[in-house]
Structures are given as structure tokens and as C-alpha cells.
Amino acid sequence: MGGAMLRGWLSRGVSPENVRVIEPFADAAKALREELSVMVLDDIAALAPDFVPDIVVFAVKPQGMDDIVPSYAEFAAKGAVSLSIAAGRTISYFGTHLGDGAAVVRTMPNTPAAVGRGITAACANDHVSAAQRAACESLLEAVGDVVWVEQEEMIDAVTAVSGSGPAYVFLMIECMAKAGEAQGLPADIAAQLARATVAGSGELARQSDEAASTLRQNVTSPGGTTAAALDVLMDDDDGLQPLMDRAIDAATRRSRELAG
């Protein structure tokens, strides 16, 4: 995710000279240098003594945070805003490790960011200035849309809907393809039909100003094939909505558990 965001920033005009990447793994560091021509260091101690960033982006797996975040407390004390894309790490967590006055923006992006079609939800603490908020939003917009939530607890629901959501869509592609095979379609054709249908429908929804319900109705002729399928999918007891309600609830509860 961090790499996808970095590529997006550079493509939008951020100068490689203004970027410092801390990457302890030699192979990954070499690949970044060769592909993106940015300065890649193996440790924060290698930064110039007088260097103070405007924004520190934490793109680290949550389990590695405890060993990394405290090293950046000096930057936070000097006014840098910390932008986290790590799941399950709360704003208070960063306050504990960076100092009570640290400016922190917690975000939840999703994997379509890799193709510039992601969406990121962000939440800022009271120490983040309007200028810092705008700067963070500009960075996040490099890989897709941005929404702001004012209550941090909403991030758990965001995680369930959009953070984990791409997996639900990929599963739908799998299920549609398997259902097509069950009706006699060759596996490769069923897979191509399902993938293209979901991708095309998503793009249509993205470009349209109409609600998803209206787009659905536009495809549905009374008594037709689509209506027959929707009678199953929209069943009040075991249709898609009650199933999705349970799935989103499970993911939301798990996000809260991971955040402690």
C-alpha cells in the first residue's frame, strides 16, 4: 500500500527530491531506488541531522509498529504530522508513542489504490491544523477518493465496508463464475464474463450520478431474467442484504477487537 501511494504521489508531481523512504529490507530498497529514483535509507538514523519532514507516513504492518513509531517522536515534537495507513492502530496509540501533542491522521485505504481507484477514510485529532489536513488529503487523493470521519470509532465500520470490501467483490466474481460453470459454461468463459461484468458495472456506477438502486432498476425488466435472479438475491430472510449485514457486522467487531 505504501508503494502504491508513493507511485501516486510521484505521478501527481511530488518531486523525488522531497521524499525520504525508510526501508530496512535491502531488496525492497533497491527496487524502490531503481524504479522511482527516490532516496531510500535503511534506518531513520541515516537522515541528515537537520532534516525535519512535513509529513511522516507510517506504512508499516501493525505488528511492527511498536519498534518503529517511537523513533519518530522528535519529528512530531517539531511539528510534523503523522499519517498512518496501518490497520488497528488508534490515534491514542500514536499519542502514547509520539507525545500527547502529536498531530495524527489515521486512515483506512483499500487495495484499489494500486490502480488509482481506491478510497480512503481519514480521521484527524485536534492537533492537526487545517493546512496539515489539506496536505494529507492531497497525498491521499493521489490514489483515489477521500472521505473524512469526525468520530474515530467510525473507522471500524469503514474497515468493514471499504477496507475489506474488495475481497467481497472478488468473492462475488468467483461465485458468479462458478454459478456460470454450473449452467454449462466453460470455466474460462465464465470467469471472463464474471470479471468483466463486475468491473464494467463498477465503472458505470463510478461515472453515473444515479443511485445504485436506480442503476439496478434500469437493468431489470418486470418478469424478466434479471428479476428472477433478484427475487433470490433480495429475499428478506436469506438474500444478499441480510448476508451482507452479518458480514459487515463481523468485520466491524473484529476491527474493534484488533484495535483493543
CB 162 within 8 A of CB 119: yes
Best CA proximity match to 12, nearest among 147, 138, 148, 145: 138
- Fold of the 165-259 domain: ProC C-terminal domain-like fold (1.10.3730)
d(CA 107, CA 105): 6
How are strands ordered across the β-sheet holding 144-148? 55-58, 81-84, 103-108, 118-124, 144-148
- The pLDDT, as a whole number, for residue 218 is 97
- Fold of the 2-152 domain: Rossmann fold (3.40.50)
Q: Where are the domains of the chain?
A: 2-152, 165-259
CB burial readout 138-163, b (16+ within 10 A) else e:
ebbebbbebebbeeeebbbbbbbbbb
- The pLDDT, as a whole number, for residue 63 is 80
Pairing of strands 81-84, 55-58: parallel
Best CA proximity match to 201, nearest among 224, 226, 225, 183: 226
Best CA proximity match to 226, nearest among 235, 217, 239: 217
Collapsing DSSP to helix, strand or coil, 147 comes out as strand
- The pLDDT, as a whole number, for residue 190 is 98
- The pLDDT, as a whole number, for residue 8 is 86
- The pLDDT, as a whole number, for residue 1 is 81
Per-10-residue mean pLDDT for the chain, 260 residues long?
Answer: 86 88 91 90 92 93 87 96 91 95 96 92 98 95 94 95 97 98 98 98 97 97 97 96 97 88
